[in-house]
Structure 1
Amino acid sequence: MSQLYRAALAVFAAVIAFSAAVAQERVVPRTEEAIRYSFAPIVKQVSPAVVNVYASRTVRQRNSPFMDDPFFRRFFGLDDAPAAPRSRVQQSLGSGVIVDPSGIIVTNNHVIENADEVKVALSDRRELECEIVLKDERTDLAILRIKEKGTYPTLAFADSDALEVGDIVLAIGNPFGVGQTVTSGIVSALARTQVGVSDYQFFIQTDAAINPGNSGGALIDVDGRLVGINTAIYSRSGGSMGIGFAIPANLVRVVADAAKSGGAVKRPWIGADFQALNGELAEGLGLDRPRGALVTALVPGGPAERAGLAAGDVVVAVDGLDVDDPNALNYRLATRGVGGAAELRYLRKGRERTATLALEAAPETVPRDERTIDGGSPFAGLTVVNLSPAVTEELGYRGRQTSGALVTAVADGSNAADVGFRPGDVLVEINRQPVETTAALAQIARQRIGLWRVSIERGGRIVRSVIGG
């Protein structure tokens, strides 16, 4: 038997042995241990830390205008006094996760938005009142605290950056108000950025069934750690279609830590504008594919400029973690918090470079000087603040103005509401007078003028109109 023949025979035998081993792996479970494989131990461990959230608010309903008319009131045999506005209670339900033994709970902001009263039901069926500690609309997260003192079960945070597509996860919450429910699935995708739920577009996608009422509930790994807060679903029917989204735990932790310290959420300010790349831009910049965040403008003296970035650079990683677009960059920086520094990897003219970015809060270069405009002008009813980097970051302003009066609220039934002003508008110019501060707006609004020529920025565009006095 030749040496070549022996070698071929050995290879054939190895292939047969490997095929047999593979075939042996794909067998029906035969042992009791294999048949009884279950997530039950994990669920028992973590379910006490997942709560049902009940939020309620009182809404005043306007009466029919006929009920205020004396003739109609007499016609229907009612007393002469107009009826007081009726009120009704609106209720919403969701889920939450206890993340601190003192009773600190994380849930979604949209679950408790505008609530007058919030209660939670624990897994042992106790119902306890909560206070709202912090609401962060930009992340769609809110922090509650149970009023009754005690030591409560908690869920530990996992490192959500360590998740991989295909990892097994469990979703725990209160879908449709039926009570605590557990569903299982896998991580379907990471870094989803086109969900449209919050300012920080960076979500974990899972096929674990998530339905209305699951919002604010826990997405956990097989070690029983919190990897995300269930937030949204994609659905054409209102029910689960296997596409659910969760806020990563690393961002949830930043918001929870801010609430524990008694402050607001502080996010690093980079001091630059960014743009996503398409195929044409990537080719023009010499990139093999669209990736990263393209620097389009920098604030003079801001952290990005001090770090050495310039317009035309493409940031592709933060502390070694890839950045696919500006949303991913914002998320990576937000999870770092304020203080210290982050290493940016970027491309300039096709060459890779690194920069050290200081993680500092946006400065309030001018006092915000919040004012509510009164009187008889078209601006009466506006609540405005001075624009600054701090206000821009805090309120999520995405326009081009660096100064002016930013509208934060418009009173119902006011002159400003009738004119059509909206929160987010920036008053830029009135009758050719620049509106650089809220004090300037208040002074202009006191004038008696027949016609007002107004320029505002809305949605990144300058809108000009003439308003009667």
Structure 2
Amino acid sequence: MKKSTTLLKPVNSFKTAKLSLIVGAALLSSTLALTSTPALAAWPFQVEGQEMPSLAPMLEKATPAVVSISVVGTHKTQQQNIPEAFKFFFGDRNRGQAQERQFRGLGSGVIIDSDKGYIVTNNHVIANADEIMITLKDGRQLEAKKLGSDAKSDIALLQVEAENLSEIKLADSDALRVGDFTVAIGSPFGLGQTVTSGIVSALGRSNLNIEQYEDFIQTDAAINSGNSGGALVNLRGELIGINTAIIGPSGGNVGIGFAIPSNMMDNLVKQIVEFGEVHRGVLGVSGRSVNSEIAKAMELETSQGSFIEQVMPGSAADEAGIKAGDVIVAMNGKAIKSFFELRAKIGTIGANQKVKLTIIRDGDSEEFTVTLKQDQSADIAAASIHPMLDGAKFNNDSKKQVVVIEQVAEGSPAQMIGLQKGDLITGVNKTRIKDLAQLRDYLKDQAGEVFALNIVRDKNSLYLMIR
């Protein structure tokens, strides 16, 4: 039977991926439902003189920190090109023009800092949003601003200004064990705030093709369309994950849900707070997950870990002394089960951070301390650099010290101003530009101004005027 995965998306914009992924969003209401597991005996209360197990005391503290999010935004859609047979009459004036269509979406979020008004949610909940409104459990509605996001791990950070907010304390998600009890808080199918319970079914779930960086907590706590960005907590009411995806037919729950671990989320949020974006750390290796065949061929005693096939010259791994053929089995004392898990942890921990890797080499266990370098690929959204660059995909060429245009979307603003795939941005006005960070910082002060991009195309230099 074909397996379908349901990625939790804003309710009005469902899309299908490799496993039929749907991401759900929270809807507004005030109903509180509780599906409890009989084994969850905690916080007893009195009924006719007898103590009864209940999660209510914990939930009374945790649920006010889970909010509903409503967004209004616009999607850019490509206008259909005129068939060749009719261009004689109409010309080609409409070719490549983009149209905007308004959309509305709903989701959930979690208050992680009540003093600063920080709210964490999924990136897909607020993507392309022009207006973001937060509804608290007490009914207050607040306008939120986006501080930053990371599409590759599906995390976004919002901020509101309000008093008397409740927050959820973060737990150490690395300390989770399979079998630990979990409680999911969200608003599925428009029913309002709903609470369900279950256990940690698995840890380190990856290679699901949901996000680019995956290290999910799997739980059987009921998660449905409407829970996107909601909280997964432990029995102390501490946040252990952000609910993100499910596997199930037609968006329904079958007991397989996924949450982004709180430690991963926390690493990303700290970078967004400091830099306004994620400064992704890179190790500089390629490899694959250890399996029985690799273990046999390389005479390994372990059947788990990350087998290193190549170490990039000058990379963080190279400078630390890691070699091809090494097997990374732990990071900072925590076991690494696969290459995907290693990639997710490294890719979200942040640039310039030090990590301790445990490596099996020639049958012996060794430890290496590695200082991660910053990923120079295009994590910075083009639209966040300048609206007229929206639709272009950038990368840094560290050897030539230029910004490379890797891709330009059809009908996008970037195409309209004349950018093409393969263009090299070498400067703005008369200022030399060497990388994306310099480009972004320079254009920050050019709001509303006319400026010229210095482009090298096919060895020819030209200027593109942008206003």
Pairing 1:257-296 to 2, within 5 Å after superposition: 257-296=270-309
Shift of 1:163: 0.7
Query: Secondary structure, in 3 states, of the residue corresponding to 1:332?
Result: helix
Picking from 113, 122, 125, the partner of 1:108 is 122
Shift of 1:439: 4.3
Structure 2 equivalent of residue 137 of structure 1 = 151
Residue 218, structure 1, aligned to residue 234, structure 2: no
CA distance in 2 between counterparts of 1:381 and 1:333 reads: 28
Structure 1 equivalent of residue 249 of structure 2 = 236
What one-letter code is carried by the residue in structure 2 that aligns with 1:52? S
Structure 2 equivalent of residue 42 of structure 1 = 58
Shift of 1:129: 0.9
Over the matched positions of the two proteins, sequence identity in percent amounts to 37
Structure 2 equivalent of residue 255 of structure 1 = 268
Question: Kindly tell me: are residues 406 and 293 of structure 1, through their superposed partners in 2, closer, same or farther at Cα, counting changes over 3 Å?
Answer: farther
Query: Secondary structure, in 3 states, of the residue corresponding to 1:116?
Result: strand
**Structure with larger RCO (C-alpha < 8 A, sep 6+):** 2
Question: Kindly tell me: are residues 382 and 32 of structure 1, through their superposed partners in 2, closer, same or farther at Cα, counting changes over 3 Å?
Answer: closer
Structure 2 equivalent of residue 467 of structure 1 = none
Structure 1 equivalent of residue 392 of structure 2 = 383
Structure 2 equivalent of residue 198 of structure 1 = 211
Shift of 1:268: 2.2
Pairing 1:298-377 to 2, within 5 Å after superposition: 298-334=311-347, 336-362=349-375
CA distance in 1 between counterparts of 2:123 and 2:151 reads: 6
Structure 1 equivalent of residue 447 of structure 2 = none
Structure 2 equivalent of residue 55 of structure 1 = 71
TM-score normalised per structure 1? 0.69
Question: Kindly tell me: are residues 406 and 286 of structure 1, through their superposed partners in 2, closer, same or farther at Cα, counting changes over 3 Å?
Answer: farther
Q: What per-residue deviation string (whole Å, max 9, x for no partner) do you get for residues 36-95 of structure 1?
A: 2110111110111100111111457899999xx9xxxxxxxxxxxxxxx99763111110
What one-letter code is carried by the residue in structure 2 that aligns with 1:353? E
CA distance in 1 between counterparts of 2:278 and 2:79 reads: 41
Shift of 1:33: 6.9
Structure 2 equivalent of residue 128 of structure 1 = 142
Query: Secondary structure, in 3 states, of the residue corresponding to 1:185?
Result: strand
Q: What per-residue deviation string (whole Å, max 9, x for no partner) do you get for residues 211-266 of structure 1?
A: 11101000000001000000001011211111100000001111222233353222
Residue 441, structure 1, aligned to residue 450, structure 2: no
Structure 1 equivalent of residue 411 of structure 2 = 412
Query: Secondary structure, in 3 states, of the residue corresponding to 1:306?
Result: helix
- Return 56-65 or 236-245, whichever deviates more: 56-65
What one-letter code is carried by the residue in structure 2 that aligns with 1:54? S
Question: Kindly tell me: are residues 278 and 440 of structure 1, through their superposed partners in 2, closer, same or farther at Cα, counting changes over 3 Å?
Answer: farther
What one-letter code is carried by the residue in structure 2 that aligns with 1:269? V
Shift of 1:415: 12
Pairing 1:21-100 to 2, within 5 Å after superposition: 36-59=52-75, 89-100=102-113
Shift of 1:351: 2.2
TM-score normalised per structure 2? 0.69
Shift of 1:334: 4.3
Q: What per-residue deviation string (whole Å, max 9, x for no partner) do you get for residues 154-186 of structure 1?
A: 111100011111111110011122211111111
What one-letter code is carried by the residue in structure 2 that aligns with 1:277? V
Shift of 1:31: 7.9
Query: Secondary structure, in 3 states, of the residue corresponding to 1:265?
Result: coil
**Contact in 2 for aligned 1:382/1:407 (Cα 8 Å):** no
CA distance in 1 between counterparts of 2:122 and 2:352 reads: 26
Task: Write 1 or 2 for the structure with the bigger share of helix.
Answer: 1
Question: Kindly tell me: are residues 230 and 327 of structure 1, through their superposed partners in 2, closer, same or farther at Cα, counting changes over 3 Å?
Answer: same
Structure 1 equivalent of residue 201 of structure 2 = 188
What one-letter code is carried by the residue in structure 2 that aligns with 1:43? L
Query: Secondary structure, in 3 states, of the residue corresponding to 2:225?
Result: coil
CA distance in 1 between counterparts of 2:273 and 2:78 reads: 40
**Contact in 1 for aligned 2:423/2:456 (Cα 8 Å):** no
Query: Secondary structure, in 3 states, of the residue corresponding to 2:212?
Result: coil
Question: Kindly tell me: are residues 63 and 329 of structure 1, through their superposed partners in 2, closer, same or farther at Cα, counting changes over 3 Å?
Answer: closer
CA distance in 2 between counterparts of 1:129 and 1:413 reads: 29
Q: What per-residue deviation string (whole Å, max 9, x for no partner) do you get for residues 300-329 of structure 1?
A: 222111111111111111111111112211
Residue 164, structure 1, aligned to residue 177, structure 2: yes
Gaps of 5+ in 2: 1-44, 87-97, 425-434, 436-453, 463-467
- Return 101-110 or 190-199, whichever deviates more: 190-199
Question: Kindly tell me: are residues 311 and 335 of structure 1, through their superposed partners in 2, closer, same or farther at Cα, counting changes over 3 Å?
Answer: same
What one-letter code is carried by the residue in structure 2 that aligns with 1:237? S
What one-letter code is carried by the residue in structure 1 that aligns with 2:406? V
**Contact in 1 for aligned 2:395/2:406 (Cα 8 Å):** no
Question: Kindly tell me: are residues 59 and 203 of structure 1, through their superposed partners in 2, closer, same or farther at Cα, counting changes over 3 Å?
Answer: closer
Query: Secondary structure, in 3 states, of the residue corresponding to 2:120?
Result: strand
Aligned length: 368
Question: Kindly tell me: are residues 427 and 443 of structure 1, through their superposed partners in 2, closer, same or farther at Cα, counting changes over 3 Å?
Answer: closer
What one-letter code is carried by the residue in structure 2 that aligns with 1:103? G
Question: Kindly tell me: are residues 188 and 61 of structure 1, through their superposed partners in 2, closer, same or farther at Cα, counting changes over 3 Å?
Answer: closer
**Contact in 1 for aligned 2:152/2:212 (Cα 8 Å):** yes
Structure 2 equivalent of residue 297 of structure 1 = 310
Question: Kindly tell me: are residues 381 and 166 of structure 1, through their superposed partners in 2, closer, same or farther at Cα, counting changes over 3 Å?
Answer: closer
